[in-house]
Amino acid sequence: MRAYYFDNAPGDQRLPHDSGRAVSPSTLEAIGVLHWSIPIDESPAESHIRQINEVAQERQYRNRDVISVTKEGLGDAYESKIKMFYEEHMHEDEEIRYILKGSGFFDVREHPNDQWIRVHLSAGDLLVLPAGIYHRFTLDERNSVKTMRLFKDEPKWTALNRGPATDANPYRKTYLDSIRSARAVASSA
């Protein structure tokens, strides 16, 4: 994983858009974004699956599936799916992704300054986005990613695009309250 501030320059969303300003893991943690590096193990024992199972048990993820986002796999729907994933949105559940193959970018909004932080993920990266955080996803120039999605309950993916309704959403408000509380505790320590 590599994180940095998005440069906001025009151009293909699949390009790096690297501002040259790195973002530390502690900055990501401060906005509720969690990351594990669990290298893919192709041995018969598949230790990466054991490690994913441990994280899933600890965080109470009960379900999972695997999806591939490729032009070949999605056919005519490819471009529309890529555009849909890249719309700024939030979810009322955590978004958990473990990259099995390929790579891509998750952009997350830093609070309170509203800057985009770009997180480049590749095989072996596990990312957890908290419910209520504004984010978006795109492939990188390789145009291919295979991910395991983990869910606390039944698999679902409901994107709520940013707007006045999502700004007032109770999950968004809970997320913002948790960020403010964590900052207050950190500043009083």
Task: Indicate the annotated binding residues for Ni(2+).
Answer: 89, 91, 95, 135
Measured CA to CA, the distance from residue 134 to residue 88 in angstroms comes to: 6
Nearest Cα residue to 20 out of 142, 118, 143: 118
The Cβ of residue 25 has, within 10 Å, a number of other Cβ atoms equal to 12
What is the three-class DSSP state of 29?
helix
Binding-site residues from annotation for Fe(2+): 89, 91, 95, 135
Distances 46 to 38, 39, 68, 185 between C-alpha atoms, Å:
11, 10, 20, 40
Binding-site residues from annotation: 89, 91, 95, 135
- CA 34 and chain centroid, separation: 9
